[in-house]
């Protein structure tokens, strides 16, 4: 079990310091709500550790630096392998399909006794009449059941600037406009999601264009850009991942063609030196022939 000799909850019955009072929460209003949890959360049970390489799992409630994991009924013969803030008391997982899971090693944390119990953290003179368990778990359950932090993207569109119809084929150097509507579930209805960090990629093997989408505060995100001077099969891609929110992965494939032979300019300015060289050669040959034929 998790044992903490400095961060335990003061209790008349629990003397082995396995009743933990923790207030080391994740810094995310989306996951645990915007209202601050004043009272510490009571925890009594098994701790666990997270693989730092795994980006899908988040530590929501951590143990203090003085905590360690051991059997309170036996004497320690070797140093504990799990200590300090590496111990996670409550963690959440958001899978790649946006499914959410809560992981904890304490059933008592969900009990009515812990919900209604007062709490005083060791070393603190402040005593709370009610622990933070009910507020913490109520807010966390809203996130777990997708009542908060759930995004959806609709009406993905792309077209040439000045037009409204979506084209099945674009040409290099065309001016394009891309738009998408993003909404967030508030628990009762879909509300416009407002942020400034959504980006679109125009992608073929690697991003040729990376553009931040501007929004109208009503859920509509859009951006304009020029198709690069490279032809092939491109994709419009939006990969949006933000702490606490469901991830968005949008992809739309579109081919890009080069200029046709009759779409180039009649005279290309960069070729003027070559035009001049050709005409000067002809003029020089004419003068040389005239002089050679008529010179006595």
Confidence band (pLDDT; 50, 70, 90) for 293?
A: confident
CATH number of the domain residue 199 falls in:
2.60.40.1930
9 and 126 in a single domain? The answer is: yes
130 and 178 in a single domain? The answer is: no
Is 140 part of a structural domain of the chain? yes
Does 6 have pLDDT greater than 90? no
The reported pLDDT for the residue numbered 270 is 83
Q: Which of 145, 170, 199 is the last residue of a domain?
A: 145
Segment 125-135, tens digit of pLDDT: 889 999 999 99
Distance of alpha carbon 132 from alpha carbon 207, whole angstroms: 46
The per-residue b/e assignment along 270-296, b for 16 or more CB within 10 angstroms, e otherwise, is eeeeeeeeeeeeeeeeeeeeeeeeeee
Radius of gyration of the chain (CA): 33
Segment 78-135, tens digit of pLDDT: 888 889 889 999 999 999 999 999 999 999 999 999 999 999 888 888 899 999 999 9
Expressed in percent and rounded to 5, the helix, strand and coil fractions of the chain are 20, 40, 45
73 and 112 in a single domain? The answer is: yes
Is 139 part of a structural domain of the chain? yes
**Sequential DSSP letters for 85-130:** GG-EEEEEEE-TT--EEEEEB-SGGGSHHHHH--EEBTT---EESS
Q: Which of 97, 112, 145 is the last residue of a domain?
A: 145
66 and 187 in a single domain? The answer is: no
**Mean pLDDT, range 3-22, rounded to an integer:** 83
141 and 164 in a single domain? The answer is: no
- Whether pTM > 0.85 for this model: the answer is no
Is 270 part of a structural domain of the chain? no
Enumerate the H helices of the chain as residue ranges.
29-32, 112-116, 133-144, 272-294
Q: How many CA atoms lie within 13 A of 110 on its CB side?
A: 10
Does 266 have pLDDT greater than 80? no
Distance of alpha carbon 143 from alpha carbon 147, whole angstroms: 6
Range of the domain at 20: 2-145
> Looking at residue 154, what DSSP letter applies?
E
> Looking at residue 269, what DSSP letter applies?
G
10 and 131 in a single domain? The answer is: yes
Q: Which of 86, 118, 145 is the last residue of a domain?
A: 145
Is 71 part of a structural domain of the chain? yes
Is 282 part of a structural domain of the chain? no
The pair of three-digit structure tokens given for residue 30, joined into one six-digit string: 């989306």
Q: Is the torsion defined by CA of 221, 224, 225, 231 positive or negative?
A: positive
- Is 217:192 a contact under the CB 8 Å cutoff? yes
Is 172 part of a structural domain of the chain? yes
Is 280 part of a structural domain of the chain? no
Q: What's the structural domain count of the chain?
A: 2
């Amino acid at each position: 079990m998790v044992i903490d000799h400095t961060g335990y909850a003061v209790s008349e019955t629990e003397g082995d310091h396995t009743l933990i009072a923790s207030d080391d929460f994740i810094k995310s209003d989306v996951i645990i709500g915007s209202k601050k949890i004043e009272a510490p959360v009571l925890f009594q049970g098994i701790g666990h550790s997270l693989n730092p390489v795994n980006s899908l799992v988040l530590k929501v409630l951590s143990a203090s630096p003085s905590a360690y994991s051991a059997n309170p009924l036996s004497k320690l013969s070797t140093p504990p392998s799990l200590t300090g803030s590496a111990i996670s008391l409550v963690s959440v997982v958001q899978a790649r399909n946006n499914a959410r899971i809560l992981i904890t090693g304490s059933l008592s944390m969900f009990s009515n006794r812990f919900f209604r119990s007062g709490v005083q953290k060791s070393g603190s003179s402040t005593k709370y009449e009610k622990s933070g368990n009910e507020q913490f778990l109520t807010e966390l359950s809203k996130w777990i059941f997708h009542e908060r932090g759930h995004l959806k993207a609709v009406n993905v569109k792309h077209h040439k600037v000045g037009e409204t119809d979506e084209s099945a084929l674009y040409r290099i150097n065309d001016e394009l406009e891309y738009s998408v509507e993003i909404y967030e579930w508030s628990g009762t209805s879909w509300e416009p999601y407002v942020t400034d960090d959504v980006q679109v990629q125009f992608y073929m093997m690697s991003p040729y264009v990376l553009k931040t989408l501007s929004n109208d505060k009503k859920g509509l995100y859009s951006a304009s850009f020029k198709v690069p001077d490279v032809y092939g099969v491109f994709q419009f891609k939006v990969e949006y991942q933000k702490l606490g929110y469901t991830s968005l992965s949008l992809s739309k494939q579109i081919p890009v063609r080069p200029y046709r032979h009759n779409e180039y300019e009649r005279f290309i300015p960069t070729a003027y030196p070559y035009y001049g060289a050709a005409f000067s050669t002809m003029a020089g040959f004419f003068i040389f022939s005239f002089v050679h034929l008529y010179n006595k």
